[in-house]
Structure 1
């Protein structure tokens, strides 16, 4: 049950990040609560909280340098609670690999995708696609919640 809810929350965070480059605070809060429940049931709450705190501090430093968004910082710390402490290194590697692929995709997309049309479409999905094309062509920030979500999903679904 917990993994399914986590996957849905991660999908929502990724979609929200693509459309608006924000992650609602309720998503990391819900993931953290589910992660704490999982850790309590597995009797690993102390090491899980310690690891999540260290990840939060490291990610905060990345945020201060402009490398991550604030929502990404909270999401990274929260998802570190969703997996067991010994799975966190693999989780971080998985997220990094997906993030690298996402960056390559965005660089490639900027070279092959057309410029966005000046007319703003009425349909929400078309407006979101237009906004993303605009970000790609102007080398805007990546929606890193996508990398966090996909990297975490591979870890969760793999078990």
Structure 2
């Protein structure tokens, strides 16, 4: 599935560069639009289900923009989260967000457990240098949750 490939690409790109190119969330939107049009035409999805997915994704988009404004996530993360949430739709939205938060928490914990941080904590030294400038790529967490959505959709 194109969506799965795009989120893996986004996660990998963010892991390596701490950025997500705008083209990736835009491509996810295009893939969703194509899937939605095809599914609607084939009668595989009802219009109200698509509308609920758009409404839920709009709410996630608003929360993502607020998180970006507060410095919690980067702009690419916010766009990737919003675009990926379309595939979760309303039925899987809370699970998608919970898996994203759990995976992000694990990434954050791993970032805290760097050798410099462990040495600072264990050696009684100043831990501030280990914390300074440390950023966490959240794209892999969003990608992992998105792949979980793909698995749930494939199983239904």
User: TM-score if structure 2 supplies the norm length?
Assistant: 0.77
Alignment partner of 1:12 is 2:17: no
1:76 is displaced (CA, Å) by 0.7
Which residue of structure 2 lines up, in the alignment, with residue 53 of structure 1? 58
1:37 is displaced (CA, Å) by 3.4
Contact residue 91 and residue 152 of structure 1 kept, 8 A: yes
User: TM-score if structure 1 supplies the norm length?
Assistant: 0.76
Query: 2:36, 2:52 → 1: CA distance?
Result: 9
Structure 2 unaligned blocks of 5 or more = 40-44, 120-129
Contact residue 102 and residue 147 of structure 1 kept, 8 A: yes
Indicate how the Cα distance of structure 1 residues 59 and 92 shifts in structure 2: closer, same or farther if over 3 A, else same: same
Query: 1:51, 1:37 → 2: CA distance?
Result: 19
Which residue of structure 2 lines up, in the alignment, with residue 120 of structure 1? none
Alignment partner of 1:147 is 2:141: yes
Structure 1 unaligned blocks of 5 or more = 115-135
1:139 is displaced (CA, Å) by 4.5
Root mean square deviation, CA, Å:
2.1
Query: 2:100, 2:10 → 1: CA distance?
Result: 15
Indicate how the Cα distance of structure 1 residues 29 and 101 shifts in structure 2: closer, same or farther if over 3 A, else same: same
Query: Which structure would you say has the larger Rg?
Result: 2
Contact residue 36 and residue 82 of structure 1 kept, 8 A: no
Query: 1:50, 1:39 → 2: CA distance?
Result: 14
Matches within 5 A, 1:69-88: 69-88=74-93
The C-alpha deviation readout for 1:29-59, integer Å capped at 9, x for no partner, is 1112222333442232211111111111111
Which residue of structure 2 lines up, in the alignment, with residue 90 of structure 1? 95
